[in-house]
Structure 1
C-alpha cells in the first residue's frame, strides 16, 4: 500500500462517499444487524439519533478488532474498516451531501492511516510486516477443511468421513495429473533437442532448456512447434500440481459434495411449500424499493471491483491472507493465488446468500457489497476498466435476481442450513488458522528469542480469552501478533532483547 497514487485515492474516496450516501438514503448498509432496523427509521417509527446510536454500538467493536487488525495484518483495506464507519456516518448525516463528504473523508483517513502505520512499522528494528506474512499459510490449508466440517455439522460423521476420503484422493491425484503434463513437456523438449542436434543439460531448469532450444531452432517450424507444446504442457503441469491450485480444487470438491447432499435431502423429503400472500406482497414492495437504488448500487459495485482489481482491498477475512501473498508475487504464481482468493471469496459468498437475500427482501435494504461476488470479479479481470464495468453489471443482475433466489431458497431449505454451517465451520477454521499463523509469525519475528516472542503471543491470546474476549476470537490472533511485535520493539529499545 506504499506510494499511493491519485487514482487510488479517488477510487477509495468515491467508494466510501457512495456507501455513506447509500446508508443515508436507506438504500444499503454493510452491517447485517443494522439492515432490519433501517425500515423503522424510514417509516417514521424511530428517530435518526436512535438509529445512529444503535449503528455505532453494533459496529464499533468490529471496526476496532476486525477492521483495523486485518488491515494492518494483511496490508489491505477491508469492508469492516471502510463500510462499517460509512454506515454510521451516513446515518448520522442530516443531508446527503454531508454523508458524501464524511464518507469521502473517512476513505482518505483509512487509506493514508494504513500507509502511515506501514511507514512507522518499517522503521522499527524488529520487522513486523514480514512476519505477518506467516498468517497466510495456515489459512490456505484451513480452507480445504471447512466444507468437510460443514458436512459433519449437517449430515453426520459418516458422510463427512466419506467426503474426507474423496477429497484426499483428489488431492493425491492432482500431482499425478500435473506430473503427466510435465513429463510430456520433457518429452517434447527431448524430441526438439534431437531435431536441433544439441544436448540439453540434465540438471538444467525448464526455462534454460527452452532458451537453448530457441536459439538452436532458427526457422525450423517443427522445433518451434515442439517448444510451444512443451511450454503449454509445462505450464499446465505446474499449475495443476501447485499448492494454491490444490487448495482451490479441494475447496470446490468439498462444496460440491455439501451442496449435493443438501439438494438430495430436499428432493428426497420434498414437501409442499405454502405461499403467504401478505408476505409475498411485502417482498414485492421491498424488492421494488431496492430496484430504485440500482444507480447508486451499480456505482458502488463498479468501484468495489476496481478497488479489488487494483490490489487496494480484500473482500473478506478468507481471501485477505491469500491476496497479501498474491500482490507480492508475479506471473503465474500471482495468477494462481488470485484464482485461489477468488474461489475462496466465491464460496464464502455462497454461504451468505440466504442471509443477505432474506434480509434484503424483508427490509428493502440491500448490502453495500451485494452478495460479495463482485470481489472475485475484481481479482480475476485483467484491468480496472473491465473490472468496473463487470462490477456494475453484476450488482444489477444480483438485484434483478433477488426474488428468484428467494423463491429457490424456499424450495431447498437444506441449502439455507448448509449456508449457516459453512459460515460456522469457516469461522472456526479461520480462527484456528490465524492462531497457528500468529505462532509462526512470532517465531519469524524474533528468531533469536523464539521462546520470548511465543510466550508474549500466547499470553496475549490467553488474556483475551480470560477477559471474556474483548477482541472477537476471529481477530484475536492478528491483534495478539501485532501487539507482540510492538512489545518486542519496546524491549529492543530498552536493550532487554
Structure 2
C-alpha cells in the first residue's frame, strides 16, 4: 500500500510498543513478562534485563519473523514487536525507547517492498515458490482442536471427535462448496473440546480457586493504570491490520496472503479473510488462559492483549473504523482481566485445554510448513531443489537447531533459492 499513512501508523505502533516495554507495562514475548517485575522493583538493571530479552527474542526475529514476512509479503508480530521488546527494556529513557521503536518500524516497512522486488526478479523466483506454503498450513491448522482433543481426553473421545470433524468437512465439500471446510472444522472441533472440558469440571465437586488472589488484585490494578497506552496500541494494531499489510499470527498469515494476492476474486478474498478471522479468534481463545494468568501474576500485559484486536482489523473495512474498535476491545480485555482469572480458577480443564491447544497448534504448524516447504523446493527446481532444502533442514537439526523448528523449513527453502540462483550465475543450473 502506498502513501504516508501506512508507514506513519507502523512507526507509531512500534514506537509506542517500545515505550510500553520500557515502562514494563506490556511486551509481546511471554518469556520476558516474568522478568519485568524484577526490573520494576530494582532487583535487576536494564543491561541485565536487556541481555535476557535479546537472548529470548533474537532467534524468533531471525527465523520466524523474517521468514514469514518474506514468504507472505506481510509484516508480522515477531518482526515488529520482539525487537521493540528488546529496545524498550534496554533504553535508558522513555523518549529514546519511543524514537528507536519508531525508527525500527520505518526501517522494516520501507525495506519490505525492495527486498520482495529483488527476490522476485531473480532467475529462480523464491517468492513465487514460497506461495506453495499456504495451502498445507491452512488445511493442517484446521485440525488443531481435534489434536488437542486426542491429547486431553484420550483415544475414545479422540476417535469420536475425529469422526465428527472429518465428517463435517466431507459434508461441506460435498453439499456446500461455497463454504470453506477449514472454518467448519475449527468450529466443530472447538465446540467438542471446550464443551467436554466444561462438562467434566461441572461434574466435579470441591474445586477451589487458586491462591494469590490479593497478588492478582495488585497486579491487575497496575495493568489498568497503563490502560490509555494499552488502548492506543490496540487501536494502532487494528488500524495497521486493516490496511492489509500485517498478518497477526502464524494461523492466519498464509490465508491472508492468499486473500490479498493480486487477481484474487473479491468474493473469494472476502471468504478467505473471514476464514483467517475465525482461525485467529479460535487461536485467541486457546491462548487466553496463558496470557491472562501471566498478566495477573506479573502485572505486565501483552502488547496485542488476547489478540482479538487482530480479528477486529481483519474484518474492518478502513483503519478509521478499526482503530476505535481495537481500542474498545483491548480495553474491555483489561477491565475483565480479574474476572477471567476467577473464572479460569473454577474450570481447570479449560486451562489444560489451553495448553493442549497451544501444543497442537505448534505441532501442526511445524508439520504443515515442512510439507509446504517440500512443495516450494520442488517447484523451484524439482528434486534438485528438494535435495538442497532437505540437506539444509537436517543440517540445522544436526548442529542443535540454531533456527527454530517451526521456521527451519521456510529458512531452508529461502536458502535453497539463493543457492540455486548462485548455481545459475555459475552456469550449473538452468531453471525449468
Aligned partner of 2:48 in structure 1 is: 50
From 421, 442, 463, give the equivalent of 2:356.
421
Aligned partner of 1:107 in structure 2 is: 105
- Compute the displacement of 1:488 (Å): 0.8
Distance 1:115 1:431 in 2: 27
- Compute the displacement of 1:352 (Å): 1.0
- 1:310 pairs with 2:280: no
- Compute the displacement of 1:330 (Å): 3.7
- Compute the displacement of 1:172 (Å): 2.2
Runs of 4+ in 1 over 6 A off after TM superposition: none
- 1:451 pairs with 2:386: no
Aligned partner of 1:93 in structure 2 is: 91
Aligned partner of 1:189 in structure 2 is: none
- Compute the displacement of 1:119 (Å): 1.9
1:295–1:256 CA distance, 2 compared to 1 (3 A)? same
Aligned partner of 1:392 in structure 2 is: 327
- 1:271 pairs with 2:206: yes
Encode CA deviations 1:421-454: one digit per residue, 9 max, x unaligned.
01111111110100110111112223xxx12111
- 1:239 pairs with 2:174: no
- Compute the displacement of 1:274 (Å): 4.7
Aligned partner of 1:412 in structure 2 is: 347
From 338, 347, 360, give the equivalent of 2:273.
338
- Compute the displacement of 1:300 (Å): 0.5
Larger Rg: 1
Aligned partner of 2:299 in structure 1 is: 364
- 1:295 pairs with 2:228: yes
SS of residue paired to 2:247? coil
RMSD: 1.2
Aligned partner of 1:233 in structure 2 is: none
Encode CA deviations 1:135-158: one digit per residue, 9 max, x unaligned.
000011102322111111110111
Encode CA deviations 1:334-385: one digit per residue, 9 max, x unaligned.
1111011111111111111111101111111100010011101110122211
Aligned partner of 1:487 in structure 2 is: 419
- Compute the displacement of 1:69 (Å): 1.1
Structure 1 gap segments, 5+ residues each: 179-237
- Compute the displacement of 1:275 (Å): 5.9
SS of residue paired to 1:302? helix
Distance 1:274 1:465 in 2: 43
From 370, 373, 376, give the equivalent of 1:438.
373
Check whether the contact 1:239–1:336 (CA below 8 A) recurs between aligned residues.
Answer: no
Mapping of residues 168-317 of structure 1, within 5 Å: 168-178=166-176, 239-240=178-179, 245-274=180-209, 276=211, 279-317=212-250
Aligned partner of 2:336 in structure 1 is: 401
Distance 2:394 2:173 in 1: 40
From 27, 30, 53, give the equivalent of 2:28.
30
Encode CA deviations 1:281-301: one digit per residue, 9 max, x unaligned.
211111111111111111110
- Alignment TM-score, normalising by the size of structure 2: 0.97
Distance 1:15 1:83 in 2: 9
Tell me the matched-pair count: 427
Aligned partner of 2:6 in structure 1 is: 8
1:274–1:146 CA distance, 2 compared to 1 (3 A)? closer
Structure 2 gap segments, 5+ residues each: none
1:457–1:50 CA distance, 2 compared to 1 (3 A)? same
Distance 1:340 1:274 in 2: 36
Check whether the contact 1:464–1:471 (CA below 8 A) recurs between aligned residues.
Answer: yes
Aligned partner of 2:19 in structure 1 is: 21
From 115, 121, 124, give the equivalent of 1:123.
121
Distance 1:400 1:152 in 2: 34
- Alignment TM-score, normalising by the size of structure 1: 0.84
- Compute the displacement of 1:316 (Å): 0.7
- Compute the displacement of 1:317 (Å): 1.1
- Compute the displacement of 1:4 (Å): 3.7
- Compute the displacement of 1:95 (Å): 1.3
Encode CA deviations 1:10-56: one digit per residue, 9 max, x unaligned.
01000000000101111111111111111111111111111111111
